[in-house]
């Protein structure tokens, strides 16, 4: 039941990085690499062996695998078009957030494990940004749960209707919040710059400096998977209820591709924010999600 959904989300994710790269190149006036180029890079990395430092412990060796595994498990939770994901139970969106935190936790301690101060700096920044973005995600999801009265992803997205303009506004704001969270979690502009490797500008890239070979391939693949995961969540909110499955697939793919292109365009046209102002901008998301929560309170009639 959930396997087609799972495959539908995972498959296009492989091309996400390629689309983003291609969009950036075209916006800069170049032709750019082909869309499957990042896939070939990952395949090349999979064929190499990893080099492990002598000062690192087993944590460093298992971290990328744990990260990738949690990500796959998280994707298994996401429904699409009225069909549930591989796993679905009540309160699974909290489980979802916890899985992502587990993966990120392993990433962070692996970065600390290498003993490099540069990676420690990146790890601390990453921890701060995730901590600030977490309430935004949970409040948004909780508001959607409040609006629809169900507690699982499948239930929430199955029952989401946009009747009044207030619910429409809440839905639009939720999409906006999720897009920005997607940018934050993947360490894209305008929070972080994945292209430069300077101390001043790195958050995520610096954490994976010491990874190589198979591990690096896993981490790059995980990056694309994360994009697809958030894209699937966003599509769930956008796609109207009751479409037949042969309409949902093209709409879903179109949404994923346009999300990737949007990310590419944001990366091309915006500069990165000053690093010590990032906490404010990330906390703004929490404020906006608070607005969604208040809107949900009004809609669900708990407070009139």
Partner 1 sequence: MTIILLIAFIISLIHLSVSKRLKTYVSVLAFQGILLFGAAFIELIRINLVNLLFILLETIVIKSIAIPYFLNYLIRRNKITRESEPYLPDFISLVIVTAIIFGSFLLSGTMYTSINRLFFMAAFSGLFTGLYFIISRKKIITHVMGFLVMENGVFALTLAAGAQMPMLVNAGILLDIFASVLLLGIFVNKIGGILKEQEAGQLRNLKD
The residues that touch partner 1, with contacts defined as CB under 8 A, are 164-166, 168-169, 172-173, 277, 279-281, 283-284, 286-288, 290-291, 294-295, 298, 303
Nearer to partner 1, 244 or 303 (CB): 303
Q: Dihedrals φ, ψ of 58, to 5°?
A: -70, -20
Nearer to partner 1, 17 or 288 (CB): 288
Count of residues making up the chain: 304
Write down the least CB distance from residue 279 to partner 1, Å. Answer: 6
Distance (Å, rounded) from C-alpha 287 to C-alpha 283? Answer: 7
Write down the least CB distance from residue 27 to partner 1, Å. Answer: 25
Question: Where are the alpha helices (H) located in 149-274, listed in sequence order?
Answer: 153-159, 165-185, 214-238, 245-269
Nearer to partner 1, 102 or 298 (CB): 298
Residue 62 buriedness (CB in 10 A; 0-12 / 13-18 / 19+): middle
Write down the least CB distance from residue 276 to partner 1, Å. Answer: 10
68 neighbors 222 (Cβ within 8 angstroms): yes
Write down the least CB distance from residue 182 to partner 1, Å. Answer: 19
Residue 140 buriedness (CB in 10 A; 0-12 / 13-18 / 19+): buried
Write down the least CB distance from residue 46 to partner 1, Å. Answer: 43
Write down the least CB distance from residue 84 to partner 1, Å. Answer: 32
> Within a 10 A sphere around the Cβ of 85, how many other Cβ atoms?
23
Q: Closest by alpha carbon to 130, among 172, 153, 98? A: 98
Nearer to partner 1, 179 or 298 (CB): 298
Nearer to partner 1, 10 or 138 (CB): 138
135 neighbors 289 (Cβ within 8 angstroms): yes
Q: Closest by alpha carbon to 171, among 5, 301, 289, 302? A: 289
Nearer to partner 1, 187 or 278 (CB): 278
């Amino acid at each position: 039941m959930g396997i087609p959904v799972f495959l539908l989300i995972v498959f296009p994710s492989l091309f996400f990085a390629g689309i983003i790269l291609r969009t950036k190149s075209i916006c800069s006036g170049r032709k750019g690499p082909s869309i499957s180029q990042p896939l070939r890079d990952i395949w090349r990395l999979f064929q190499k062996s990893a080099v492990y430092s002598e000062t690192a412990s087993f944590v460093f060796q298992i971290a990328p695998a744990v990260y990738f595994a949690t990500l796959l498990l998280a994707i298994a939770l996401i429904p699409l078009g009225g069909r549930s994901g591989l796993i679905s139970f009540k309160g699974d969106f909290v489980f979802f957030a916890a899985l992502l935190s587990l993966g990120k936790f392993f990433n962070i301690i692996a970065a600390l494990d290498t003993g490099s101060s540069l990676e420690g700096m990146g790890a601390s920044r990453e921890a701060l940004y995730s901590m600030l973005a977490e309430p935004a995600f949970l409040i948004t999801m909780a508001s959607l749960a409040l609006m629809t009265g169900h507690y699982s992803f499948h239930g929430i997205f199955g029952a989401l209707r946009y009747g009044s303009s207030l619910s429409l506004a809440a839905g639009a704001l939720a999409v906006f919040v999720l897009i920005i969270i997607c940018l934050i979690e993947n360490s894209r502009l305008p929070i972080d710059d994945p292209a430069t490797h300077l101390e001043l500008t790195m958050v995520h890239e610096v954490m994976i400096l010491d990874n190589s070979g198979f591990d690096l391939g896993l981490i790059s693949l995980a990056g694309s998977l994360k994009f697809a995961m958030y894209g699937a969540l966003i599509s769930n909110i956008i796609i109207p209820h009751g479409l037949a499955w042969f309409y949902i697939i093209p709409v879903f793919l179109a949404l994923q591709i346009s999300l990737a292109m949007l990310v590419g365009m944001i990366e091309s046209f915006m500069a990165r924010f000053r690093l010590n102002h990032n906490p404010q901008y990330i906390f703004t998301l929490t404020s906006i999600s608070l607005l969604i929560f208040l809107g949900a309170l009004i809609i669900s009639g708990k407070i009139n």
